[in-house]
Amino acid sequence: MAEIGIHARALPGLPADHARIPVWNAEDWYYEDFALGDKIRSIRRTISEGESMQFNSLVMDHHPYVSDELFAREEGVFGRRLVAGAFVFSLGLGLAATNCLNSFSYGYDRLRFIKPVFIGDTIYTIRENLSKEVHDERMGKLKVSYSVYKGEGELVLYAEHLLTALYRDPAPFLEEACARMVARGKAPTQAG
């Protein structure tokens, strides 16, 4: 498993002794460091009413299921207010997100809201490296899953995150990268 939060990375303007200290939750992983099947689990987090309502206000989501206690209790399918799915998604990813300095978000697939999440529920996330493939001359493409659970292990949300990550050493990937780029109708910038 790749190490999390142990990589120091110099930043301009820092004294040398400070630059040698690893940055919390900032990894220096490259494409080669992502091992398929690796998993990490987040800490747990309880969702409060205040932050749920603040999120709803920020994104203008005032659907009665998330913002009207009387409606949710008396007419709603679940008998109480939900936490907005977009907020559960954001929290779930944030709980297990790493700040890898060499990877870049490419998008999300297969987002599913499996079970409702209510104000006061406690959630946690398990992230797993699912696949990787050569993408272009500078970076590969990765797919990781985020499974968000509440309580004692009830799956409430699933999503797959697509991202790219720089190669530490592009040379071993160059021939395949050029062939893939040509197949996609793009001209490689380097000879393969």
**CB-based burial of residue 161 (10 Å sphere; 0-12 exposed, 13-18 middle, 19+ buried)?**
buried
Residue 156 lies in a domain: yes
Residue 100 lies in a domain: yes
Q: 116 or 192: which carries more pLDDT confidence?
A: 116
pLDDT at 74 over 60: yes
3 state SS of 6: coil
Q: Tens of pLDDT along 9-33?
A: 667 788 888 877 777 767 788 999 9
Q: Which pTM does this prediction carry?
A: 0.87
As for how many domains the chain has, the answer is: 1
Residue 124 lies in a domain: yes
Residue 133 lies in a domain: yes
Confidence of residue 6 (pLDDT cuts 50, 70, 90): low
Q: Tens of pLDDT along 147-169?
A: 999 999 999 999 999 999 999 99
Whose tokens are 């978000």? That residue is 105
What's the pLDDT at 192? 45
Residues 26 and 99 sit within 8 Å (Cβ to Cβ)? yes
Residues 91 and 123 sit within 8 Å (Cβ to Cβ)? yes
* 152-157 contacts, C-beta under 8 A, 24 or more apart: 154/115, 155/114, 155/115, 156/88, 156/113, 156/114, 156/115, 156/116, 156/117, 156/123, 157/85, 157/88, 157/89, 157/92, 157/111, 157/112, 157/113, 157/114, 157/117
Residue span of the structural domain in which 111 resides: 43-183
Helix then strand count (H, E) for the chain reads: 6, 6
**CA-wise closest residue to 138 among 109, 111, 171:** 171
Residue 175 lies in a domain: yes
Residue 140 lies in a domain: yes
Residue 12 lies in a domain: no
List all residues 6 or more positions away from 176 whose beta carbon is below 8 Å from its beta carbon. 134
C-alpha 61 chain-centroid distance? 23
Q: Tens of pLDDT along 77-87?
A: 999 999 999 99
Q: Tens of pLDDT along 87-137?
A: 999 999 999 987 888 899 999 999 999 999 999 999 999 999 999 999 999
CATH number of the domain enclosing 138? 3.10.129.10
Residue 177 lies in a domain: yes
